[in-house]
Structure 1
Amino acid sequence: MAPGSLVAACRSLALSTWLLSFCFVHLLCLDFTVAEREEWYTAFVNITYMDPATSEVRTEKTECGRYGEHSPKRDAKGVVVLPASPLDRQACDPHTRFVVPSQAAAGWIALIAHGNCTTKDKIRHAAAHNASAVVIFNVGSTNPNDTITMRHQGTGEVVVIMIPEPKGREVVSLLERNITVTMTITIGTRNLQKYVSRTSVVFVSISFIVLMIISLAWLVFYYIQRFRYANARDRNQRRLGDAAKKAISKLQVRTIRKGDQETEADFDNCAVCIEGYRPNDVVRILPCRHLFHKSCVDPWLLDHRTCPMCKMNILKALGIAVSPAPLRSGSVSFQRLTVSVFLPAERRLPGRPPAGLRPGELQPMASSASVASLVIAVETGLSDEEGSMDRPHLGAKS
């Protein structure tokens, strides 16, 4: 996989991750001013009655009520009245009667149980008897102290509130004992309930899913390409290593004997191990006439294929010809590596032999060399950058 493709994949993955993070932040820090909201008001409920046992007037005031959504937000006061029939405390029958005492002519408040029919029906049945307010106590809720904002559009100017079940049953108990109860309803606290709109939730959810899919796809694609690249590179290195071994085997090797110039004190040391040459040391002579201990230079040549001193490419010096196929980004291509090794022919060297050679030894002559060609099919996925690094060392012999 070419570097440009890897960079593009990494950038796309980073962009996807950034967008995903942005969506998370948007979800956690969503501006609720653009989301849907619900406004509701609490109600103070003040009940006053005379205790028949002590003849004392008792007053209880709590902020336990909640105004209905379509109720006028104003005060209301009057005598509390239940439906006349004990079996119709929910006031769902259109013919529900309310026995209104004479002292409640100025205004009265209907106390009705929740359930069995719509809140709108209950309010309309009580309003038909001129009730100035309707108090509905919550029945059947999981939490007995819960109240909700009731919806009752089209019920006129009747004040409607809901109170918890315990409070409602307390007032019902007093009325069933024929105790007159006066209730005063006043406006309590304004509340603004905010919640995320469904549109925002759907948008964030879809964005999250899409970006997760994109990120996962890029991640899988990236690692597959990296695996293919690493696998092809390893195969290429192994096969190039085999070619290097064959080339190294063609280089000259000799054994230092006592009295050779290499054993003299002013002769250069081995550039790999920085040790001098001693008799019986086996040295390898490179085409550039530099010599090194065989055990020192062979691993170096296997990895680098260059002289440790002058950096001459031994493959090029030995005539290894390479005709690489054009590399394609993001794909694994095949190319044939032709290794031509020029074997040295016998020839006596006149006069003083070059450094590193003893009289009677062989010198490589390209003009009289016999050629052995090694053709190796190399599967490679090297990037353009790596290919350009190897081309100077693997060029055709001029």
Structure 2
Amino acid sequence: MDLKVGRCVLFLVLLSGLVRCSAAFVFWTALLVTSNQDSQTNTSVKRYCECGVYGISSPLEGATGLLTLPIQGSMGCGPLPVYARNSSDPPWIALVKRGNCTFSEKIIMARNQGAEAVVVYNVEGTGNMTMHMSHPESPGIVAIMIGNAVGVEMAKLVHSGVAVEMVLSVGSPHGPWMDTYWLYFLSIAFFFVTAASISYFVFLSAHRLHNMRSQRRTEHRLKTVAKKAIKQLEVRTIKRGDPETGEDDQTCAVCIESYKAGDVITVLTCGHIFHKACIEPWLLAKRTCPMCKCDILKALGVEIEEDKEQIHTSSYPPPDVTVVTVSGGEPLYEVPLNDPQRREPQGYQHRYVNGAFQGDSQDRLG
């Protein structure tokens, strides 16, 4: 499941990268509004068209000014001055024809003389076709391209001495990623990826919550069974002269304190003794002897419905561990717990003894 989440995240990253990389294919149109005075009717004539395309390095901003043609020719190339205007004149917009020099050179010439914007119209034979101009050397000034037919008409008016004012404004975006079908595709893909991610995390959270609740129920059931088993263990009070208070000075393996008269002790099924107040919390949590790992539930014959392998995984020693067995006064034997061929006689029981305590006891007796 983690691999699936990783794939979803990778898909989102690649998708966002494709969107960023495809930004270069998106272009913005320009809305043109031109107005001039008709000398015959003495009325104002306005024309509207969304027929311009912003250059790649052009800021997406509007501009207003009088259309101005170059002094010589129509290309706007050559040494300065190219226009009969400068920055001290009222706002003006350069209208130049494509050709003879690069777009950047045309735009730089107009900007250096104070133009508010540059309008480049296409060459003959292209009708009203436009292109996405590339002018990386001249950023920071509004630059658009219009079709040849529209540009020639504007140039004729200006050349005849008519003052033509142009207002540029940002139109709408276009390109493959702005197409309606692409938007539908991206929306659906984003929805499915988001839904899959949310579904996975909901499933994972529900699974973990179920496991936690199941574990709590199991622990509660085992504690209840352990409480019943603890009540079956032998409990007695140590008196003066008992072996626990003798010269051996036995200690409780839980609290590491010596036994003394008046202490209440619990005797486990394996024969090991502990303070009652020390061993009961341990048995509720572990259900095994702290010294030999003897399972008190199993020793007392208490049956539990849960999977024993799951319940006692932390209680059993590893399969390769060997233990030392003692049977009365017989010699010591090392018995591998994972030996499948080993069979014990019926009724034979092992007694597990802590080696450290046994060695300490033998040293003192010696």
What is the TM-score with the length of structure 2 in the denominator? Answer: 0.49
TM-score by length of 1: 0.46
